[in-house]
Structure 1
Amino acid sequence: MEYRELKVNLPKEGSDSLYELLDTLSVAGYYEILFDGDAPKEPNQEGILRENTNIRIYLDKDDIEKELKIIIFLKINFLESASYESREIETRDYEEAYKEFYKPFAVGKKLWVIPTWEKDSENTKALWEPIGGIPLFINPGVAFGTGHHETTKLILERLDTIKETEKTFFKTACDLGTGSGILSIGLGRLGTDRIFALDIDPNAVKAAWSNWQENDFGRKIHFTVEESGLSNPNLNNYEYELAIANITFAVLSQNIRSLAEIKAPRFIFSGIITEKKDAFVDLLQSHLPGKMLFEQEWNEWWVLDWVRN
């Protein structure tokens, strides 16, 4: 099968709005090049170096309409500061391209996110084994959650801190919008014994299950992942000690009543941007009355650790 690859370069601050468009268009896949140290930084009109990012977007070969919508988006929003080029590639190129740029990295004090194709590498083991690190083996695909995004890192760092500072860790949890399954895997590696995960994207569900099987937890864990939204009746069949949700404010606010029905005393939310934070806290007080245990911001993204009354 052939694909059309779009190579896009645009200002870093514009990447999230582009991702929203790509999710709406349901493109075949996309990823951000995070380790392109050779890419030149171009000065803007004031002579200040501009921080741009490179994103690869994959479309079906004949999907010209989606390509045009992406180009129009770039011209409207980043006329002078974005560039793009396209080419046709084969399936193998599409599946293997992101591996060149996805490398092991640490999150918090203990966790290490390791691509599955490097799990047996002695050089990779040397990064985390000597310090007693905890590896999370992930094949991110191209659009389901690599662990690099601020929201994912914020939740993983919070879970890592809770494991270190609190007397016990959560034995049961649900993972809302699991994506690649990276947060569920983090929960399992830190001590959770029963995890229920869900996602509306069937490909994400497959990716989460595949990634789960790549990890050796050293004990029996009951892990279930289903294709569904937050109205899934199975979500309410159990009581959980923790619910985690790396989901945008728009989705969370639309499903606030479903969130309130989840039988969990504690929630960790991410995917909330600064301009929506106060509105989301107001929603929580209205539908899940409680208090904030912890909050932290990174590049205008927030993680909120919330306990119900």
Structure 2
Amino acid sequence: MEYRELKVNLPKEGSDGLYELLDTISVAGYYEILFDGDAPKEPEQEGILRENTNIRIYLNTDEIDKEIKILIYLKINFLGNASYESRIIETRDYEEAYKEYYKPFQVGSKLWVIPTWEKESEVTKALWEPTGGIPLFINPGVAFGTGHHETTKLILERLDRLTNENESGKPLFFSACDIGTGSGILSIGLARLGCERIFALDIDPNAVKAAWSNWQENTFAKKTSFTVEESGIDNPNLFGPSYDIAIANITFAVLSQNIHHLAKVNSKRLLFSGIITEKKDAFLDLLGKHLPGKLLFSEEWNEWWVLDWVKN
């Protein structure tokens, strides 16, 4: 299979707006290159892109309209400050490309996000095994959710902190739904922290395949169950079974458009991310109107927020 790969370089502050556009138009996949060996070296922070960032975007070869929308976004917002290249690549080229930039890293006090291709590496095991860390083996593939993005880290850190603060010794959440699962990283994190029943969904068929594939790369307690479906937030399985917690790492635009469906999700507690600072108050207003309750916790990182909400 072939993909159209777009190499985009733009000011760092513009990446969030681009991500929102990419989510809206449903591209096949994208990732940010945090370390670029081809970029000019800077003595203070060698190899790190400080003002601009490189993003790789993948489209199906016939999705010219989506490429045009991306190009228009760049021209309107970053004329003269962004660069853009397009080429056709084979699936294998894409699968190998991101491996160069995706390395193990820690989230919270004990979670470690480990690429699946480094699963058996003794060097990698030495990072987490001596301290009793919990590995989450992930191959992001063509789905959003490498764990690098602030929104993903915020939710994982919140779940990790809640687990650490739980003095009962029992799992804090026995059932959960993961709305917009992407690579499945949050579902895997929940399960590795003791959640026994997880239902996940995503509108992207590539994400559904990636989430299930990643789930199989990890080890869980025998009684742990995971179901993932290709669907939107109108899925009846969100409204029937009860869940101890619902998590949604989705942009404000999508959440606000589906607020009536979110209100029917059969979970008293909801953990949201994907909300930028300028939309935070508007989203809290929506929650107060459609899901009356209170904000238990909020935290910001680079203008992204995690919001821990409990319904009355």
The two structures share one fold, judged by TM-score above 0.5:
yes
1:30-179 alignment runs, 5 A limit: 30-36=30-36, 39-40=39-40, 51-61=51-61, 63-167=63-167, 168=170, 169-179=172-182
Which runs of 5 or more residues in structure 2 are unaligned? 43-48
Once the two structures are superposed, residues 115-166 of structure 1 have per-residue CA deviations (whole angstroms, 9 ceiling, x without a partner) of 1111111010000001110000011013421111111100000000000002
Shift of 1:40: 2.8
Mapped to 2, the partners of 1:273 and 1:30 lie a distance apart of 19
1:1-309 alignment runs, 5 A limit: 1-36=1-36, 39-40=39-40, 51-61=51-61, 63-167=63-167, 168=170, 169-309=172-312
Using the TM superposition, name which of 23-32 and 94-103 deviates more. 23-32
Using the TM superposition, name which of 227-236 and 78-87 deviates more. 78-87
Mapped to 2, the partners of 1:256 and 1:241 lie a distance apart of 19
TM-score (ref. length: structure 1): 0.91
C-alpha distance 182-50 of structure 1, shift in aligned 2 (>3 A): closer
Shift of 1:104: 0.6
Partner of 2:45: none
Describe the SS at the equivalent of 1:129.
helix
Contact 1:41 1:51 in 2 (8 A): no
Mapped to 1, the partners of 2:61 and 2:203 lie a distance apart of 25
Partner of 1:46: none
Once the two structures are superposed, residues 159-185 of structure 1 have per-residue CA deviations (whole angstroms, 9 ceiling, x without a partner) of 000000023410111111111110000
Contact 2:2 2:60 in 1 (8 A): yes
For the aligned residue pairs, the C-alpha RMSD in angstroms reads 2.0
C-alpha distance 103-266 of structure 1, shift in aligned 2 (>3 A): same
Partner of 1:45: none
Return the letter of the residue paired with 2:124: T
Residue identity over aligned pairs, in percent, reads: 80
Shift of 1:302: 0.6
Shift of 1:292: 1.3
Once the two structures are superposed, residues 49-107 of structure 1 have per-residue CA deviations (whole angstroms, 9 ceiling, x without a partner) of 96111112234456555434433322221112111233343332122111111101110
Contact 2:30 2:144 in 1 (8 A): no
